[in-house]
Chains A and B, each alone.
Chain A
Amino acid sequence: MPVYSEKVMQHFMNPHNVGEIPDADGVGEIGNPVCGDMMTFYIKVKDNKLEDVKYKTFGCGAAIAVSSMVSDMVKGKTLEEALTVTPSMVAKELEGLPKNKFHCSNLGAQDLRKAIMNYAIKNKIDIPGLTDKEEPEEEEEHACET
């Protein structure tokens, strides 16, 4: 049985929106506490909307598919809408992830949040949903401790 769903494989084989935005309005960089991998999200904001979203990912197949899916899910959305995206929504859109790879979906949603946070701080603005939802909704899977 293949480890990953077809959707994960599609995004992994052809990830959308890969790259950097040199003059990004917000950048979020995050390291995966579980396996030591890395993700960087870049956002371009116009009229409170995510006009462009790009990322770079150092990580497993799931991490790459997650970043691609997150970018698809939030591009063109308002900042508030983007902040409602949770790791479990990302995993669901990807038609599921193996249990020991849930932490990779946390990585994607958290990193996008970080990029938006970076934008908010730079521009000294308050975005509803940013401060009160800082913690990821799911507990990190500390699979490495088993």
Chain B
Amino acid sequence: MDHAGAMPLLPEVREAMLPYLNEIFGNPQSLHAWGDGAREAVEEAREKVASLIGGSAEEIIFTASGTEANNLAIKGLARARADKGKHIVISAIEHFSVMNSARTLQKEGFEVTLVPVDGYGVIDPDEVSRNIRNDTVLVSIMHANGEVGTIEPIVEIAKRLPKDGPIFHTDAVASTGNIPVDVKTMGVQALSLAGNQFYGPKGSAALWLKRGVRMLPLMDGGIQEGGRRPGTEDVPAIAGLGKAAELAQKNLPERMQRLTQLRDLLINGVLSGVEHSMLTGHPVQRLPAYASFCLNFIEGEAILMLLNSHGIAAASGSACTSRALKASHVLLAMRISHEVAQGSMLFSLGLDNNEDDVNYVLEKLPQVVDRLRQMSPLYSKYMKEQRG
């Protein structure tokens, strides 16, 4: 149940990719028959991705990851406006690709304002607009958070931005293909998405950039993707992304309903079956597949290891789990204490999960938690205090 970490390819997606790994190996830029087939595949995928998010095909720029799309958007859009102003606004819970792109811009003389979130991880649209200045050239707020699943009020934020003011970009990597995403109604000018978050291949992603919006490329090269993202196209990945987009668009309501049901079963089961547990993120405005918690008195990596021994995969934002030994900046921004953040857990459900899987987790998790609490000095302290 770590689908946010990695998702299996849908069989149809794999099928759609295979011809481009085999007989149709041409370069889309070549003017011969082999190139024709590859070019068709890329353009067809472009149509499908555009259709999934309500944009038009020529506004899609394929990239190799959501991280790359975010880097391209943040740096490329800000740098193209450096003469107009050097201030950008992002939220405190953005993905590292946005956070660290902003940090790079800081070194180039940009000022960065971080907008805080509330205890559910929700950004206040008024707080965003309050931070807009005359020299603000870019606002980037994620559509949904990939750690706690909270969906942000993008439309409300867009409404409050001054007309002809900053460019509004949203990192929709966690949301695209999982909830409705429509650039026409959202009011954004740029949006990042990644195929591996909706059963497409890893290495398939895109930036949607509204027609006419100026952006500098990160790499110098040829004319691919209109010169904004040069480099020979990864045709199999793009074909897979196209297929995944087509399937996501077709099956979205049904997928959402199924996953929401499983998610709520899991959330209710954990909250009632594990004492001293709390849901992280917004209870309703959340991604259908995301069930995230903090389980007090114990640490996430130990929980993951014991769950793994029962064949259950999950993720955690604890300091010990991270390579850098830092608690998740998302949880800290939600004013969850270091100690409680240590017990953070994320279950991200997928189409291959069913009710039995959820029930299995609900059977094993309380045992795992109990076992670790039995050896936790924090828990025994707490119990002694309770007894007086």
Interface residues of A (CB under 8 A from B): 12-13, 15, 18-20, 29, 34-40, 56-61, 63-64, 100, 103, 143-144, 146
Query: Which 9 pairs of residues, A with B, have the shortest CB-CB distance?
Result: A60-B320, A56-B377, A35-B319, A60-B301, A40-B377, A58-B376, A18-B375, A61-B305, A36-B338
Residues of chain A lying within 8 A (CB to CB) of residue B309: 13
Which bracket fits the contact residues of B?
Answer: 20 to 34
CA distance A91 to B118 in the complex (A): 42
Check if B67 is an interface residue, CB within 8 A of chain A.
no
Q: Flag the segment in B85-93, B158-166, B321-329, B345-353 that touches A.
A: B321-329
Contact A38 B320 (CB under 8 A): no
From B323, which residue of chain A is reached at the shortest CB distance?
A: A100
Residues of chain B lying within 8 A (CB to CB) of residue A18: 374-375
Interface of A is mostly: mixed
Check if B357 is an interface residue, CB within 8 A of chain A.
no
B153 CB to nearest A CB, Å: 33
Docked complex: B291-320 residues within 8 A CB-CB of A: 297-299, 301-302, 305-306, 309, 318-320
Contact A58 B321 (CB under 8 A): no
From B298, which residue of chain A is reached at the shortest CB distance?
A: A58
CA distance A56 to B321 in the complex (A): 20
Check if B106 is an interface residue, CB within 8 A of chain A.
no
5 more A-B contacts (CB under 8 A) besides A38-B377, A56-B376, A58-B299? A18-B375, A39-B377, A59-B299, A143-B325, A144-B324
Residues of chain A lying within 8 A (CB to CB) of residue B319: 34-36, 144
Contact A60 B374 (CB under 8 A): no
Contact A144 B302 (CB under 8 A): no
20 interchain pairs (CB within 8 A)? A15-B375, A18-B375, A34-B319, A36-B327, A37-B342, A38-B377, A38-B378, A56-B377, A58-B297, A58-B298, A58-B377, A59-B302, A60-B299, A60-B301, A60-B318, A63-B320, A64-B302, A100-B324, A144-B324, A144-B326
CA distance A29 to B319 in the complex (A): 20
Contact B338 A60 (CB under 8 A): no
CA distance A38 to B271 in the complex (A): 25
Check if B367 is an interface residue, CB within 8 A of chain A.
no
Contact B377 A12 (CB under 8 A): no
Residues of chain A lying within 8 A (CB to CB) of residue B30: none
CA distance A105 to B375 in the complex (A): 17
- With A37-B320, A100-B323, A100-B325 as known contacts, state yes or no: A29 contacts B377, CB within 8 Å: yes
CA distance A60 to B326 in the complex (A): 13
Docked complex: B262-303 residues within 8 A CB-CB of A: 297-299, 301-302
Residues of chain B lying within 8 A (CB to CB) of residue A29: 377
Check if B134 is an interface residue, CB within 8 A of chain A.
no
Contact A60 B324 (CB under 8 A): no
Check if B234 is an interface residue, CB within 8 A of chain A.
no
A114 CB to nearest B CB, Å: 13
CA distance A64 to B232 in the complex (A): 49
